[in-house]
Amino acid sequence: MNEKQRIESQKVVAGNPTDKKSAKDFSKYFESVYIPPSLKDAKKRGKEEVNYHNDFHISEEFQGLGNNKKFYIRTYGCQMNEHDTEVMAGIFLGLGYEPTDTVNDADVILLNTCAIRENAENKVFGELGHLKTLKKHRPNLLIGVCGCMSQEESVVNKILKTYNQVDMIFGTHNIHRLPNILKEAYMSKEMVVEVWSKEGDVIENLPKVRKGEIKAWVNIMYGCDKFCTYCIVPYTRGKERSRRPEDIIQEVRHLAAQDYQEITLLGQNVNAYGKDFEDMTYGLGDLMDEIRKIDIPRIRFTTSHPRDFDDRLIEVLGKGGNLLDHIHLPVQSGSSEVLKMMARKYDRERYLELVGKIKAAMPNASLTTDIIVGFPNETEEQFEETLSLYREVEFDTAYTFIYSPREGTPAAKMVDNVPLEVKKERLQRLNALVNEISAKKLKEYEGQVVEVLVEGESKKNPDVLAGYTEKSKLVNFRGPKSVIGKLIKVKVTKAKTWTLDGELVEEALEV
Ligand code: SAH
Ligand code: SF4
Ligand code: F3S
């Protein structure tokens, strides 16, 4: 099937299910043409080459589509979604739309969704409920669902059946098709569904409107091939594919020229960077070694997978400079048996060994992590191994979750014999430990001078400024507005539960 045929076969312009006259015909028609997103197809990882495209443009037929119209995008989930929103905002602007920060005067509302846990999905269904009322009063409003949930067949089917206020559903591989999808939605006033199940493409020249002028995200790779047994991401984001180093470096240089102070390199598993290149000799360490020479004061990367974290990367990170020594290294569990069931492909010992190597190369490194409690069959002893690993590593902080079964993943088929009450209780115990160690670590900052990238006024008090340290600690302090966007030195006066209070030492660092 060529590209055009595939687009045609995957694209469905569904009749309006509310149109009673044609409901039966519609249903027949729909079944005959509708190809739902398939988790099974999404799992296939072909050996086909990654196609790089540089030819995105907004063709004449779409010019002015958004004149005198406003768009609003609500983003759920991780930084990858946040960054996709920046791309979609870029496309909207290219079409002539203006942004708005309220749904009330928007002409198009997009929900950029996350499928990682059930409660993430429930939030979106709740929001769709609210939007139904809005749509009743303003029938011309277009409502779209995109992001990871739209890659799930069960979600698409549910929306088609019960949420007829939705006009468009499109997947994570279809973002560049937004102009076509919008036009179709306007023309037909019928539900447009366009979701490709797997894609191996990288589209380089999509427009972007970044949310801030101080910090920026840069994708270095897309997708995930790890297939941890609990996780939906490999199905919703497609196969691992790396951007070419030259494209990434050019983007980072461009951001440096625009005076950005901090870059976060993004991918679901950034340590697998380059593994899909033919010669497989260029990895994340090599990329970081080039990027560190670019004149940007702070470089971060996320998310790391312990399995692919290699010595070359550790060596490069050890060079310091603008490469920050804060590493987010999700462990998920402290028990080797649970890690095996999760198919994480490392065990407790290897994780601790890696932590040891990182700390040897970067003595001041701070580590943060993600942990899942209540995985099917997790025993009390296995959970306690998570607690003991946490104490041993002394993470700065952690994102902690109760396991949530995701349809189509291997773990969802496992018998789960851990009662919800037990899962909740484990989460509480783990959070108590996380809080205890975070508080202890924050307390150590009292009296120290830290470097802060000032982001703006504090949310609670406009007379107070707020910014982040190299290790992502939020610091509040009083100072002139002229330091916003700059790196300055602040003396920490008090550690609060989650944040630090400080006073300005020096207005701006020589960089
Ligand atoms: N790629 C990253 C994580 C992406 S998802 C990594 O591999 O570490 C962010 C976090 O959500 C995961 O680290 C995991 O802790 C959590 N998570 C993923 N699937 C989950 C599920 N089914 N239930 C509960 N938490 C989950
Ligand atoms: Fe999910 Fe595992 Fe991939 Fe992370 S590495 S996105 S947890 S499958
Ligand atoms: Fe959620 Fe998709 Fe990110 S499932 S965590 S938005 S990759």
CATH of the domain at 231: 3.80.30.20
Q: Would residue 164 count as lying in a domain? A: yes
Report d(CA 418, CA 400) in Å as an integer: 17
CATH assignment at residue 14: 3.40.50.12160
Q: How far is the CA of 56 from the centre of ligand 3 (A)?
A: 24
pLDDT the model gives residue 511: 43
| Same-domain status, 288 and 370 | yes
pLDDT the model gives residue 200: 74
pLDDT, tens only, 252-287? 999 999 999 999 999 999 999 999 998 878 999 999
CA 48 to chain CA centroid, Å, is 26
| Same-domain status, 229 and 348 | yes
Domain end among 164, 194, 224: 194
Token output for 220 = 């270095």
- For 9-42, the three-class secondary structure string (H helix, E strand, C coil) is HHEEEECCCCCHHHHHHHHHHHHHHCCCCCHHHH
pLDDT the model gives residue 360: 97
Show Cβ contacts of residue 98 under 8 Å, excluding neighbours closer than 6 positions.
Answer: 66, 69, 70, 71
| Same-domain status, 177 and 249 | no
**Strand ordering across the sheet containing 191-194:** 11-14, 191-194, 168-170, 142-147, 108-113, 70-75, 98-99
Q: Is 215 left (phi over 0), alpha (psi -120 to 50) or beta?
A: beta
Report d(CA 259, CA 426) in Å as an integer: 45
Token output for 397 = 């902080």
Q: How far is the CA of 370 from the centre of ligand 2 (A)?
A: 11
Domain hosting 126: range is 3-194
Token output for 200 = 């191996």
> Which positions of the chain have pLDDT values less than 50?
1-23, 26, 509-511
- 78 known member of a binding site: yes
- For ligand 2, residues with CB inside 6 Å are 224, 226-228, 231, 233-234, 268-269, 305
CA distance to 54, 62, 63, 204, 350, per residue, from 57 (Å):
9, 10, 11, 11, 47
| Same-domain status, 27 and 166 | yes
Q: Would residue 109 count as lying in a domain? A: yes
Domain end among 443, 462, 492: 443
| Same-domain status, 138 and 264 | no
- 146 known member of a binding site: no
Question: Any idea which ligand is nearest the CA of 83?
Answer: 3
| Same-domain status, 216 and 340 | yes
Question: Any idea which ligand is nearest the CA of 171?
Answer: 3
| Same-domain status, 408 and 485 | no
CATH assignment at residue 458: 2.40.50.140
- What distance separates the 2 farthest-apart alpha carbons in the chain? 73
* Helix, strand or coil, per DSSP, at residue 113: strand
Closest approach atom of ligand 3 to CA 268: 7
Give the burial class of 350: count Cβ atoms within 10 A of its Cβ; 0-12 exposed, 13-18 middle, 19 or more buried.
middle
The residue assigned the tokens 């949530």 is 404
Q: How far is the CA of 113 from the centre of ligand 3 (A)?
A: 8
Q: Would residue 201 count as lying in a domain? A: no
Q: How far is the CA of 488 from the centre of ligand 1 (A)?
A: 34
Residue nearest to atom 1 of ligand 1 (CA): 268
* Helix, strand or coil, per DSSP, at residue 284: helix
| Same-domain status, 474 and 339 | no
Q: Would residue 121 count as lying in a domain? A: yes
Closest approach atom of ligand 1 to CA 269: 1
Report d(CA 413, CA 214) in Å as an integer: 45
pLDDT the model gives residue 5: 45
Domain end among 412, 443, 474: 443
Q: Would residue 199 count as lying in a domain? A: no
pLDDT the model gives residue 28: 54
Residue nearest to atom 12 of ligand 1 (CA): 370
| Same-domain status, 347 and 416 | yes
Give the burial class of 100: count Cβ atoms within 10 A of its Cβ; 0-12 exposed, 13-18 middle, 19 or more buried.
middle
pLDDT the model gives residue 188: 80
Residue nearest to atom 7 of ligand 1 (CA): 305
Q: Quote the strand ranges of 303-404, DSSP E.
A: 326-328, 366-373, 397-402
List the beta bridge partners of residue 75.
Answer: 112
Helix 348-361, helix 380-393: angle, nearest 10: 10
Q: Which of 117, 152, 236 to mutate to test the pocket of ligand 3 (most atoms within 8 A of CB)?
A: 236
Q: Is 145 within 8 Å of 179 (Cβ atoms)?
A: no
Q: Is 476 within 8 Å of 499 (Cβ atoms)?
A: yes
Closest approach atom of ligand 2 to CA 231: 1
pLDDT the model gives residue 169: 97
Show Cβ contacts of residue 38 under 8 Å, excluding neighbours closer than 6 positions.
Answer: 153, 197
Q: How far is the CA of 101 from the centre of ligand 1 (A)?
A: 29
| Same-domain status, 376 and 465 | no
* Helix, strand or coil, per DSSP, at residue 369: strand
Q: Would residue 429 count as lying in a domain? A: yes
| Same-domain status, 122 and 97 | yes
Question: Any idea which ligand is nearest the CA of 427?
Answer: 1
* Helix, strand or coil, per DSSP, at residue 162: helix
pLDDT the model gives residue 454: 97
| Same-domain status, 495 and 356 | no
Q: Would residue 79 count as lying in a domain? A: yes
Total tally of structural domains belonging to the chain: 3
Residue nearest to atom 4 of ligand 1 (CA): 268
Strands 201-203 and 51-53: parallel
Q: Would residue 426 count as lying in a domain? A: yes
CA angle in degrees (0–180, nearest 5) for 80-86-88 = 105
Residue nearest to atom 3 of ligand 3 (CA): 78
Q: How far is the CA of 233 from the centre of ligand 2 (A)?
A: 6
